[in-house]
Structure 1
Amino acid sequence: MDSVPAHWHRMRRTVHDVLRTRCILLRFIPPELIDIILELAEYWACVMSNRSTQMLVKASTETEPTSEQNIYLQSARVPRGSRVRRVTFRVRSCDQGKSNNAKCRGTYKGTSSWFEVGVVEAPQELVASNSEPDLTSNQSHSRRWFLQSNIHGARYRKLHEVVWSVYDQVTDPASTLDESDGAVKNAPNPDPNRLTTGSGSGRGFLENLHPGSSISLYAQAKYPGWENHVFSAEIEMECFL
């Protein structure tokens, strides 16, 4: 079993924690300085969503890639009045555990079992009510990003962590295209950067998260014989209030 990195145990602050700290600081510090202090300290509210039940996705033409059947986890909504600064994904999974391609086995090369994430916007009435996201809503219009590949032909379950931070994002809109909808269709053939870690860069992802948005985590497999075995997943959103 793989170990859990030490930084996973850092203190996670709730929305209440951050708002309470703001009120305390207002007694001593001008309001215009509080934002700067909280941002530099990365004093962000944490919104957690997780699932730990097993799910199997087999490559099939019967299920559309955008189908809710492919969604393993749907996150909570982005809190009202907040900006998402960092999202951490943790997924424990593996593929079918066998492959005839000995050169790619044990690497991220040639894998056809992977994960995507989509941003789903909520109707304004749901944003105002702070209702939980509904898996039965139309997911097909959500924008998609490649997240993580499984290791090719590995029998053991692997825990992957992918962190997308606002400090790592590329602001040029043209450079986000290879990580959004177009790249997802070609996910089994990752670019050179993905061959090392199996993960996507998430360019343009955080900019598309707004108050009321939620994140869908999709498990995918392509080509006959390929499978995606998912054991657990976690989505951690850190939001500036």
Structure 2
Amino acid sequence: MGSALSTLSSALTKDAESPSYDGNPSEQDVILVREFLVNLFPLELVEDILFFAEYWPCVWADSSLEIDAIASLNISTESTWLYVISPPVLPREILGVQNRHRRVRKVRFEMESVDQGWVDVPPENRGTSWSWFEATIFRASASPCWHDLTATPFNLGASFNSSDIKELFPEPDPNGWHIQSNIVACKEPQLHSVTWYEFEDEEAHAIPTSLKGREGLGHELVRSLEPGDRVMLIAKAKFPGWENHVFQGSIEIYYSV
């Protein structure tokens, strides 16, 4: 068994010394590890091991460009920036591999941001923040490519009003999920990490009609993703005085094979 564990460890970390290694396994890594484990355990147990270890490949995109989403700069007092857009979700079929299909398992967002750093009400009456992030699905079959999607960040609010933006992304319906609000009147940028799985979070406080997107329902986005879809990280600020200063952000889409 010691030799077997050593071989498995080598398989799991074989690319770690590569300059391009990002900490995530490739599809080939997962396939090789599965083939190795089925020599030791029943296939059903192997699938459970890979699932609970979240040993999944991913596609991702990130940005470290700074933007200022300032609600007061727009006539509608609502600022909307497309900050990052993911690569397309890969096809379900895996060429050269029979009886295996890709399936999106989770989506992870990271954002470093801060609001305007002040509000004109005492702490006990500050309420919710109107400086936040939401996720939207871009489905090319329903939304013509009206913009060079590689040229992000992009100030959506400068070209479209809020109703126009909703019409740009009609599918899936509903579309738009709240990810994370900034801490109210915080002076220093904060790093936020949010992960959504395909299964509903029964402890999440769900607000389907929130003006910030469907709160507590991120599993809907994971389940809705189809091959070719792309996930957009949107930076928002709404109502006079509210601002969203973004320093970096990323999207990671994990899938099983």
TM-score (norm 2): 0.65
Following TM superposition, where does structure 1 have runs of at least 4 consecutive aligned residues deviating by more than 6 angstroms? 26-33, 134-138
AA aligned to 1:161 is S
The alpha carbon displacement at 1:87 in A equals 1.3
- Asked if the contact 1:59/1:222 (under 8 Å) is kept, the reply is yes
- Asked if the contact 1:58/1:226 (under 8 Å) is kept, the reply is yes
- Asked if the contact 2:107/2:195 (under 8 Å) is kept, the reply is yes
Pick closer, same or farther for the CA change 1:186–1:11 going to 2, 3 Å.
closer
Gaps of 5+ in 1: 1-9, 125-131, 191-198
DSSP-derived class of the 1:151 partner: coil
TM-score (norm 1): 0.69
Match of 2:134 in 1: 116
C-alpha RMSD of matched pairs (Å):
3.8
The alpha carbon displacement at 1:32 in A equals 6.9
- Asked if the contact 2:63/2:249 (under 8 Å) is kept, the reply is yes
- Asked if the contact 1:48/1:234 (under 8 Å) is kept, the reply is yes
Larger Rg: 2
Match of 1:160 in 2: 192
Match of residue 84, structure 1, among 104, 114, 122: 104
| Paired-residue identity, % | 31
Match of 1:102 in 2: 122
Match of residue 24, structure 2, among 1, 4, 12: 12
Match of 2:70 in 1: 58
The alpha carbon displacement at 1:38 in A equals 3.0
AA aligned to 2:68 is L
- Asked if the contact 2:77/2:240 (under 8 Å) is kept, the reply is no
Equivalenced residues, count: 206
The alpha carbon displacement at 1:134 in A equals 6.2
Is 1:237 paired with 2:253? yes
Match of 1:127 in 2: none
Pick closer, same or farther for the CA change 1:63–1:139 going to 2, 3 Å.
farther
- Asked if the contact 2:206/2:216 (under 8 Å) is kept, the reply is no
